[in-house]
Amino acid sequence: TAYTAAREYLIASLDSLPGEIWLQHYELAFTLHKELADVEYLKGNFARSEVLIEITLSQAKSALEKAEIYNMLIVQYTLTAKYSEAIQAGLKALSLLGIDLPQDDLPTAVMVELAEAKANLENKKLASLINGEKMKDDDKKLALKLLGNMGPLTFVSSQELWKLTVAKAINLSLKYGFVAEGSYGYSCYGIILSAILGDYKSAFEFGKLAIQLSENSNNLSQNCQDNVIFANYLSCWIKHIKITNAINSEAYKVGLQSGNLQWTGYNRMFQTMTLFYQGINLEDILSEISNFMLVCQKTKNQWATDIISANKLAVLSLIGQDDEISEAQQVETFYQHKSMAAICEYHVLKAQLLYMYEKPNEALEWAILSLDIINYIMGHISSSHHNFYYSLILTAVYPTASESQQKQYLETLAANQQQMKIWADNCTENFLHKYLLVEAEIARINGKDLEAIELYDRAIESASSNGFVQNEALGNELAAKFWLGKGKEKYAKAHMTEAYYAYQRWGAKRKVEDLEEKYPHLITRTSTSLRIKDTGVTTTHRSSTGSSSNALDLATVMKASGAIAGEIVLDKLLASLMKISIENAGAQKGLLILAREGKLLIEASSSVDSKEVVVQQSTPLHGCENLPLTVINYVKRTHSDVVLSDAGSEARFANDPYIALNKSKSVLCSPILNQGQLVAILYLENNLTVGAFTPDRLEVLKLLSAQAAISLENALLYASMEQKVQERTQELSQTLNELQRTQTRLIQNEKMSSLGQLVAGVAHEINNPVNFIYGNLVHVNEYTQDLLNLVQLYAQHYPNPVSEIQEETEEIEIDFLVEDLPKILSSMKVGADRIRQIVLSLRNFSRLDEAEMKAVDIHEGIDSTLLILQSRLKAKTDSPAIKVIKEYGQLPPVECYAGQLNQVLMNLLANAIDTLEEVGSDGRVMGNYQAIAQASCPNFSERGEESSNGQSRSVANGSEATSIINYKLPTIRIRTCVTDGGRVLIGIADNGCGMTEEVKKRVFDPFFTTKPIGKGTGLGLAISYQIVVEKHGGQLQCVSTVGEGTEFVVEIPIRQQH
């Protein structure tokens, strides 16, 4: 995956940093550790991430950096339900930034902060906050981010602390200016306004303000958070819950795009609850839950996972599959994780289920248990769900309760209905039918029959018109029981039958079976009628209880829907969808056309004959001659189905060129919509028979298209994210490669610069005394000659010296001294000349810091390098001396970076010596040098270029010879020449063991080496390649044959293009 690749690059980057990384490369070390910790978190490796965080925290220098690392801990601890640890991390981080939140007497602190927030907001229009001053203080920016991340965990663990963080965030924004993370405070302030103060419209406006602020900041991560809060805590009290559904879907996409996996998980959790309370088909919800659970488990989002699990228990119970999971074990897990919101949600739904299965006394116990922890779902629509069923439960137990209990129940019912009325006044679509149904039940228990009858009808109508199929069913069931109690079985039967089929549409199989068992005489079964109503829900289902052979096999449809839901990779989804559509519709040929950026593209095609699905074609529909474009464009325009029994006889489309030419018979063209938007068009045809696509087959496709729309949106989003991730991974890869190249250059340049400075220093220190010696040798020679002349004069004029002088003359062998002293002085001069040559070579080689190109003598550079390496050319105890053959051509001065080119020569010659030493020490026979030398450099003459004196020159250990005597000895051959294209060739060949093809392919790769560990860095040839190719616009080639040897050929222009 992309995260795995990113992890590998980051680890490689850390490994490539030399020395004490925190001391020498602090900023880079901090960034790499932080990014790696983040990637480990994204991969779900929390333990590894925490270790990296602890390391980074221990090394962080500034308070701001430490607070930034604590922020990462907050997110991780929250996801793993370590709320206490997360809170402590948040408090420490805020303290580092100078913000100390009190831990005692929180209610007082909350009142103070809220009062300050109210005063700061007074007389301010919300619109003025959109273009307010931007925050500049980095400490305050991070503080807002910390307060935002503390929000979810304090909301589910410490409500007072949550209120304090919200108020503090708002006051910071109003005082220091706006930053993207500050929008979260406004969102949560909306929750306080709605859930605590009951100002739902103002809360809604604050939610819209938060979204606008995060959108203006182009902060996708924050925008995801703001949309999640707006949809699930603010919008649902003002707008139909289907709007919540739509906002959640968009927020999920934004969350994925931004990489905000924490809030993406919360989004899936809230969407699960939304789908349930909206009355979406339970089988569809169960299918979605599998996907949602996968997202949350993969990111180890424990809070979200637990709440989804609580909802899953209810769904499984309603569809009759609760044996698949141990309810007791699941609830025990909630308590272990201290997931109080999940426990509360479970209690609320448990009370609902027990009430639905006519166990009101047990239901009452669970409803009362919920009251103690209801604050954990404060502000969410599930709190209204508890209100609704708590009231219905009280009306159910009322007739058998004591007088004192009845009085208490009526008081509770009045308080509940007062709150429900407020909700209904703000949003009739979501709450009016609930208010009316409870009012009907209250009228029933108070004996107000006429009032109850009217209220039942109004409640059922409101639920039906707003798409709440589950409450439409419940209203009909309660009305049926009312009429049954009055002895009016005919009326009871009508309502119970409506309830029966509404529960079927909802997918509550167990409830349907419960009604069949308890009230079989009140249910009128229909064998062929579909009894499908337009509930506003995306998918509809028909009963499988009928005996008609044309009835749908619901199990088969759900299995196919599950197969579609299980695919996230686009090409696999397209193939699966195409295959399932053709099989279920009985088509010969099918195409799937996706709507992308306003264009229709054919993305998949298949036929019964080929039995293969061709996907990812992306063929534009415009101009396509193999389809009835008039039919497809009609579907695109109207978003309605087209089913033609005999296309050729249909007046609307008979003139379509494709239909007319192919004499098309059965044609089916259906839009795939998601929230009213065209996602794709499915085109099927069968030219064997007319009327192939029956209403039943169309119904199957419509059932499948709902899931297909969701899956296609997810797959397209997934494909888009994969592309972005690949692009980001490529960027990381390129950055790492550039880092390695830069590091290679830095290491080698530093190494060669140090060598150059050393060599220059040594040359300078030697040069001064040598010049002194060399200059004085002339005088010494003159003085010596004068003294010798004087001695001769004495000998001539005093042939018979005294005995003492005669003895001394014999002792010092005066005749030998006179003869040998001039020779010694001459030898000293030769030695001094040699030292001066060495110094000159060292100074030539040390020109590494010259920043400008100069015209230099290439041969001088080669000779200087050889001189430096001279000691390595001599014989060793385990290997013979290395012969160097120089075949120099007539080269003009070459424009180059002399020091860098000397570096190349040093690398190539040193590598050749390494190879020959290795072969010699192993006792292996030398390769056929002549063969490799001639084969590798066709630009050179076979006999070699003549030197300046007209002969080839051979140098072995510094001495010259006239020919190559024995190529079985270790030999290096250096040749130079000028090409016809105004370029210089320098060939350096050895008769070592040669290279394999695999080695040759990688020889210029950074860090690649064939030498033992500790004897090579793998940088020399990579650096040399960069110098020759990038710096000089030349070429560096390697020609090698195993067993024969290797030659490197440097080719650079004589004059550079400036």
What is the greatest pairwise CA distance in the chain?
172
Higher pLDDT, 629 or 934: 629
The structure tokens listed for 672 are 């795939």
Cα 86–chain centre separation: 25
Give dist(CA 591, CA 685) in Å, integer: 9
Strand partners, 680: 594, 672
Query: 857 CB contacts (<8 Å, ≥6 apart)?
Result: 891, 893, 894
Check whether 703 has a pLDDT greater than 70. Answer: no
Q: Which CATH class is domain 853-1053?
A: alpha beta
Rg of the Cα atoms in the chain: 45
Give the number of C-alpha atoms closer than 13 A to the C-alpha of residue 13, restricted to the C-beta side. Answer: 24
Q: What percent of the chain shows pLDDT beyond 70?
A: 82
Cβ atoms of 1028 and 1050 closer than 8 Å: yes
pLDDT of residue 946: 35
The structure tokens listed for 403 are 């007088």
pLDDT of residue 762: 63
> pTM for this one?
0.51
The strand order across the sheet containing 589-596 reads 613-620, 599-607, 589-596, 677-686, 666-674, 642-644
pLDDT of residue 443: 96
Check whether 535 has a pLDDT greater than 70. Answer: no
pLDDT, tens only, 648-699: 887 778 788 888 888 888 899 988 887 677 888 988 998 888 888 877 777 7
Give dist(CA 546, CA 541) in Å, integer: 13
As a 3-state breakdown, the chain gives helix, strand, coil percent values, each rounded to 5, of: 65, 10, 25
pLDDT of residue 827: 78
pLDDT of residue 487: 92
Of 51-60, 463-472, 562-571, 817-826, where does mean pLDDT reach its minimum?
562-571
Mean of the pLDDT values across residues 450-478?
Answer: 95
Instruction: Dump the DSSP string for 582-611.
Output: HHHHT-SEEEEEEEETTEEEEEEEEETTT-
Which residue has tokens 């070390």? 29
pLDDT of residue 274: 95
Of 268-282, 529-543, 887-901, 1001-1015, where does mean pLDDT reach its minimum?
529-543
Cα dihedral across residues 417, 419, 423, 425: positive or negative:
positive
Higher pLDDT, 923 or 870: 870
Cβ atoms of 932 and 991 closer than 8 Å: yes
Identify the CATH number of the domain defined by range 554-723: 3.30.450.40
Give dist(CA 682, CA 635) in Å, integer: 10
**Of 486, 481, 269, 458, nearest in space to 355 by CA:** 481
Cβ atoms of 68 and 137 closer than 8 Å: no
Query: Do β-strands 883-887 and 971-978 pair in parallel, antiparallel, or remain unpaired?
Result: parallel
Check whether 943 has a pLDDT greater than 70. Answer: no
Other CB atoms closer than 10 Å to residue 721's CB: what's the count? 15
Mean of the pLDDT values across residues 995-1005?
Answer: 87
Mean of the pLDDT values across residues 1018-1045?
Answer: 86
Highest mean pLDDT of the ranges 147-156, 158-167, 504-513: 504-513
Mean of the pLDDT values across residues 1043-1055?
Answer: 92
Check whether 5 has a pLDDT greater than 50. Answer: yes
The structure tokens listed for 126 are 């919300």
So where are the chain's domains?
427-551, 554-723, 724-845, 853-1053
Give dist(CA 952, CA 944) in Å, integer: 7
Whole-angstrom CA distances from 936 to 238, 975, 990, 1049 are 83, 12, 11, 8
Cβ atoms of 536 and 467 closer than 8 Å: yes
Check whether 1046 has a pLDDT greater than 70. Answer: yes
pLDDT of residue 565: 56
pLDDT of residue 641: 83
Q: What percent of the chain shows pLDDT beyond 90?
A: 32
Q: Quick check: helix, strand or coil at residue 668?
A: strand
Domain 427-551 fold: 1.25.40
pLDDT, tens only, 710-751: 666 676 766 677 777 777 778 777 777 777 666 666 665 555
> Helices H, strands E: what count in the chain?
40, 15
pLDDT, tens only, 823-844: 888 878 777 776 766 666 565 5
Q: Quick check: helix, strand or coil at residue 254?
A: helix
Q: Quick check: helix, strand or coil at residue 801?
A: coil
Highest mean pLDDT of the ranges 31-40, 141-150, 236-245, 733-742: 236-245
Give the ranges where 798-924 is alpha helix by DSSP (H): 803-811, 814-845, 858-868, 870-873, 898-922
Check whether 47 has a pLDDT greater than 90. Answer: no
Cβ atoms of 1019 and 744 closer than 8 Å: yes
pLDDT of residue 848: 44
The structure tokens listed for 339 are 């997931």
Q: Quick check: helix, strand or coil at residue 988?
A: strand
Cβ atoms of 463 and 475 closer than 8 Å: yes
Give dist(CA 517, CA 515) in Å, integer: 5
Query: 84 CB contacts (<8 Å, ≥6 apart)?
Result: 157
pLDDT of residue 618: 73
The structure tokens listed for 744 are 């290679």
pLDDT, tens only, 103-114: 888 889 888 888
pLDDT of residue 331: 92
Give dist(CA 685, CA 666) in Å, integer: 6
Burial 585-615 (b: 16+ CB within 10 A, else e): bbbbbbbbbbbeeeebbbbbbbbeeeeebbb
Higher pLDDT, 40 or 933: 40
Cβ atoms of 10 and 29 closer than 8 Å: no
Give the mean pLDDT of the chain. Answer: 81
Give dist(CA 377, CA 387) in Å, integer: 12
Whole-angstrom CA distances from 390 to 347, 355, 397, 449, 882 are 11, 9, 11, 22, 99
Kindly provide the residue ranges of all beta strands, DSSP E only, lying in 910-966, ordered along the sequence. Answer: 953-956, 959-961
pLDDT of residue 753: 56
Give dist(CA 582, CA 585) in Å, integer: 5
Query: 460 CB contacts (<8 Å, ≥6 apart)?
Result: 433, 472, 475, 476, 479, 498
pLDDT of residue 832: 77
pLDDT of residue 821: 83
Give dist(CA 385, CA 390) in Å, integer: 8
Q: Quick check: helix, strand or coil at residue 688?
A: coil
pLDDT, tens only, 540-590: 333 333 333 333 444 445 555 555 555 666 677 777 777 777 777 778 888
- Please, which pLDDT band fits residue 396 given cuts at 50, 70 and 90? very high
Cβ atoms of 777 and 828 closer than 8 Å: yes
pLDDT of residue 925: 46
Q: Is 1030 left (phi over 0), alpha (psi -120 to 50) or beta?
A: alpha
Q: Quick check: helix, strand or coil at residue 480?
A: helix
Mean of the pLDDT values across residues 617-623?
Answer: 75
Q: Quick check: helix, strand or coil at residue 508?
A: coil
- Which amino acid is it at 156? V
The structure tokens listed for 704 are 């499948």
Q: Quick check: helix, strand or coil at residue 663?
A: coil
Other CB atoms closer than 10 Å to residue 806's CB: what's the count? 11
For 90-107, the three-class secondary structure string (H helix, E strand, C coil) is HHHHHHHCCCCCCCCCHH
